[in-house]
Amino acid sequence: SGLLAWPIAKLMRVDHRTFVPPMMFNNCGNMGLPLAVLAYEQTGFAAMVALFTISNLLHFTLGAWMIDHHAKFGNLLRNPMVWSTFLGFGFALAHPPMPEWGATAIKLVGDALVPMMLLSLGVRLAEVHWSDWQLGVIGGLVCPLTGIAMAVFLGPILGLDQTQQGLLILFGCLPPAVLNFMVAEQFNQEPAKVASIVLIGNVLSVIFVPLGLALALR
């Protein structure tokens, strides 16, 4: 998606560091996982978890570097999201015993993060200008369209079966993730514009998610 979004950003004379990452990193967690279960049950859930994990890892390494080319690789690896990903891999492989109080604490922190991100997004949207809303509409259209196009293009090349192809299409139709706004806020990369892309992209998902489901299950 980023390869297709890059020339669009240049054509619109928008900073690619603002526009391209939200086109690449979509809402494959909160939205993608339930949709995968709805469409493909546990087979879909396992595949979407893999896509979500890879996307999250790339978001806080490659995505952060795309926004700030001066970011040191060592600093990117010290990001808590990167560490949590590797810890998740370790727990999945080793299956160590987890005390109930530890699991409860982790769940409480995790449950609080999404509302906090949405609250921060809402505060930033108060500063959005009309030109930012126009960019948001374009981004909300480009993200799922380029995602679906790349999924349809890559499926035959990668030799995917029908279920895998469908999951890739479902992944491609998802809107930009809220995490894009948090990363833009961290690096001060026009967060108001990114916030508008995220918001309108998720509003437009009521059109593109059913379209993605129809294409995936055809």
pLDDT tens-digit series, residues 140-188? 999 999 999 999 999 999 999 999 999 999 999 999 998 898 888 888 8
Q: What is the largest CA-CA distance in the chain?
A: 54
DSSP 177: P
pLDDT tens-digit series, residues 35-82? 999 999 888 898 998 899 889 888 888 888 888 877 776 666 777 777
Task: Name 176's bridge partners.
Answer: 26
Helix (H, G, I), strand (E, B) or coil at 95: coil
User: CA 152, 155, 161: angle at the middle one, nearest 5?
Assistant: 125
How far is Cα 35 from Cα 31, in angstroms, rounded to an integer? 6
SS3 content of the chain, % helix, strand, coil (to 5): 80, 0, 20
The tokens describing 56, both together, are 């999250």
pLDDT tens-digit series, residues 121-142? 676 666 667 677 889 999 999 9
Tell me the one-letter amino acid at 203.
V
Predicted local distance difference test score (pLDDT) of residue 128: 67
Task: Report how far apart, in Å, the C-alpha atoms of 66 and of each of 24, 73, 95, 144, 169 are.
Answer: 11, 12, 35, 20, 25
